[in-house]
């Protein structure tokens, strides 16, 4: 409990850092180096590693690389363990322990019963044996279930490790929220003339990693181990836990680890070079894996946490693949299935992700031949979202996606005319301005409002561009 509290209070708390000195750091270091004798020790070391990361600003610069490597080595070792196998083994161990306890009790009961029970008391033996069995078991077992505690400790350690890695990825240049990646494609920028260079320079700084963190992540094989944790929870472990009320909470923990791994994967894909992720073949394999994860669950739309995590990972991956001209993985049918399910989610993050995915995929398809019908489907969907979603955040993302998809390309130009893109956006322009004026100031942050103002300007320029497109196609 103390380790939990320490990790929590040291996160984003610069005021507290001045109370830590070399002695405190040496105590933490000794805890980090303690031998592992149980899963609870693994959890302790993971929490200490997270605390040391939180205290990195008071660690001498000459020791930074060493500390970062030590922390990531611990996290890597934690993620190396197979949590599902541990749950299965621990449940088997508990079953065997209870069986042994029961057999021991029966032996003791029989031995004592022969000496203590008279003939005229024979009818009461069943009742007495039942009562005595309860007494013996309570004497033999600890006050808490050791195996369950060990399993929970490992699962908590792995969840913590994934969260610390995400914090590492975001610590040097944190962005406000899901708007962090709002940007236009190269084609869109060509006619929008650096419109995102307003508001005192770049809107939001791109995420970046120091050389020390970058090297430590790759040297400790963190991307590979995070990828492995994105797999669906082991069905045998789920079945075992579901059949025992006290073990049932572990199911949620297993699912949480998968979601954290997907969010962690999103950060790594956004930050690491393609070569450090295994190159183009690895990205395509990863894309197929994520698609399989998503569509192997017919009810994926009912699980907001999972849907937000996997759509975030897909968004980052598709963006990375598009930047390197790597063929996309999802069929148009799969793409629209995801987006139609996601756009009805109560989570703004999910809705932002799916329209962004459409923008990324549509901008790639716009460069290809024979994609007219798919581009029309994408365009109609994005127009529907832009004009009807209740959130200005989602509306802004949908408009930005439209700018990307219909910025360039013969197929995109034909599709834009056929779906009446120009007339719909011209009609929506004053509505969008009014929404920003009436709703924006009270509900959205200054950074979000800055983005919305840029989208508003880009909309004006995009409408002018579309007028030129229509004139060219109809002349």
Looking at residue 133, its pLDDT comes to 36
Looking at residue 408, its pLDDT comes to 87
Give domain 172-209+272-474's CATH number out of 1.25.10.10, 2.60.120.560, 3.40.50.1370, 3.10.180.10.
Answer: 1.25.10.10
Predicted confidence (pLDDT) at residue 128 exceeds the cutoff of 60? no
Looking at residue 275, its pLDDT comes to 87
- Average pLDDT, integer, range 352-370: 94
Q: Give the pLDDT band (50/70/90) at residue 113.
A: low
CATH 1.25.10.10 domain span(s) along the chain: 172-209+272-474
Predicted confidence (pLDDT) at residue 175 exceeds the cutoff of 60? no
Q: Give the pLDDT band (50/70/90) at residue 212.
A: confident
Predicted confidence (pLDDT) at residue 257 exceeds the cutoff of 80? yes
Looking at residue 106, its pLDDT comes to 63
140 vs 410, higher pLDDT: 410
Task: Describe the crossing of helices 348-365 and 304-323 by its angle, rounded to 10 degrees.
Answer: 30
Alpha carbon 239 to its chain's center: 24
- % of the chain beyond a pLDDT of 70: 83
The three-state (H, E, C) secondary structure of the chain, written as one string: CHHHHHHHHHCCCHHHHCCCCHHHHHHHHHHHCCCCCCHHHHHHHHHHHHHHHHCHHHCCHHHHHHHHHHHHHHHHHHHHCCHHHHHHHHHHHHHHHHHHHHHHHHHHHHHHHHHHCCHHHHHHHHHHHHHHHHHHHHHHCCCCCHHHHHHHHHHHHHHHHHHHHHHHHHCCCCCCCHHHHCCCCHHHHHHHCCHHHCCCCCCCCCCCCCHHHHHHHHHCCHHHHHHHHCCCCCHHHHHHHHCCCCCCHHHHHHHHHHHHHHHHHHHHHHHCCHHHHCHHHHHHHHHHHHHHHHHCCCCHHHCHHHHHHHHHHHHHHHHHHHHCCCCCCCCHHHHHHHHHHHCCCCCHHHHHHHHHHHHHHHHHHCCCCCCHHHHHHHHHHHHHHHHHCCCHHHHHHHHHHHHHHCCCCHHHHHHHHHCCHHHHHHHHHHHHHHHHHHHHHHHCCHHHHHHHHHHHHHHHHHHHHHHHHHHHHHC
Q: Give the pLDDT band (50/70/90) at residue 192.
A: very low
Where b means 16+ CB within 10 Å and e means fewer, 249-275 reads: ebbebbbbbbbbbbbbbbbbbbbbebe
Q: How far, in Å, CA of 161 to CA of 79, rounded? A: 7
Q: How far, in Å, CA of 302 to CA of 264, rounded? A: 22
Looking at residue 199, its pLDDT comes to 37
Looking at residue 443, its pLDDT comes to 85
Looking at residue 240, its pLDDT comes to 94
CB within 8 A of 412, min separation 6: which ones? 366, 375, 405, 406
Looking at residue 176, its pLDDT comes to 36
Worst-scoring range by mean pLDDT, 215-224, 297-306, 390-399? Answer: 297-306
pLDDT digits (tens, 9 = 90+) for 99-112: 887 777 666 665 55
Q: How far, in Å, CA of 202 to CA of 194, rounded? A: 10
Indicate whether this model's pTM tops 0.85: no
User: Largest Cα–Cα distance in the chain?
Assistant: 112
pLDDT digits (tens, 9 = 90+) for 366-405: 999 999 999 999 999 999 999 999 999 999 999 999 999 9
Looking at residue 63, its pLDDT comes to 79
61 vs 379, higher pLDDT: 379
Average pLDDT of the chain, as a whole number: 82
- Average pLDDT, integer, range 212-230: 92
């Amino acid at each position: 409990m103390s380790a939990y509290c320490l990790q929590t209070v040291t996160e984003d708390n610069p005021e507290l850092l001045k109370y830590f000195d070399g002695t405190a750091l040496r105590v933490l270091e000794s805890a980090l180096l303690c031998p592992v004798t149980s899963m609870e020790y693994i959890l302790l070391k993971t929490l200490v590693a997270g605390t040391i990361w939180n205290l990195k600003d008071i660690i001498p610069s000459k020791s930074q690389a060493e500390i970062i490597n030590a922390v990531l080595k611990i996290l890597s070792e934690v993620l190396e363990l197979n949590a599902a196998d541990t749950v299965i083994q621990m449940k088997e161990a508990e079953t065997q322990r209870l069986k042994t306890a029961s057999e021991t009790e029966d032996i003791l009961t029989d031995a004592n019963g022969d000496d203590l029970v008279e003939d005229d008391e024979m009818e009461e033996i069943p009742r007495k044996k039942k009562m005595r069995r309860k007494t013996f078991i309570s004497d033999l077992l600890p006050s808490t279930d050791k195996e369950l505690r060990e399993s929970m400790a490992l699962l908590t350690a792995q969840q913590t490790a994934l969260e610390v890695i995400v914090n590492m990825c975001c610590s040097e240049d944190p962005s406000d929220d899901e708007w962090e990646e709002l940007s236009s494609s190269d084609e869109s920028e060509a006619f929008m003339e650096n419109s995102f260079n307003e508001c005192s320079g770049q809107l939001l700084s791109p995420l970046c990693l120091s050389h020390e963190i970058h090297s430590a992540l790759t040297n400790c094989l963190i991307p590979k181990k995070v990828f492995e944790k994105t797999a669906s929870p082991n069905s045998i472990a789920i079945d075992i836990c579901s059949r025992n009320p006290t073990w049932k909470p572990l199911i949620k923990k297993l699912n949480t680890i998968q979601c954290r791994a997907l969010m962690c994967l999103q950060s790594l894909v956004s930050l690491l070079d393609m070569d450090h992720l295994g190159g183009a073949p690895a990205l395509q394999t990863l894309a197929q894996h994520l698609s399989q994860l998503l569509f192997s669950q017919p009810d994926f739309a009912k699980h907001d946490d999972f849907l937000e995590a996997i759509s975030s990972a897909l968004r980052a991956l598709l963006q990375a693949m598009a930047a390197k001209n790597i063929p996309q993985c999802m069929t148009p049918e799969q793409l629209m299935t995801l987006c139609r399910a996601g756009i009805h989610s109560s989570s703004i993050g999910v809705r932002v992700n799916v329209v962004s995915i459409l923008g990324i995929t549509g901008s790639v398809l716009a460069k290809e031949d024979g994609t007219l019908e798919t581009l029309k489907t994408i365009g109609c969907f994005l127009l529907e979202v832009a004009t009807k979603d209740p959130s200005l955040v989602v509306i802004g993302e949908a408009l930005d996606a439209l700018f990307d998809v219909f910025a360039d390309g013969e197929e995109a130009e034909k599709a834009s005319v056929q779906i009446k893109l120009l007339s719909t956006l011209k009609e929506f322009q004053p509505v969008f301005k009014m929404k920003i004026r009436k709703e924006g100031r009270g509900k959205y942050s200054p950074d979000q409002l800055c983005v919305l103002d840029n989208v508003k300007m880009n909309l004006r320029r995009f409408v002018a561009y579309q007028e030129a497109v229509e004139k060219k196609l109809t002349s």
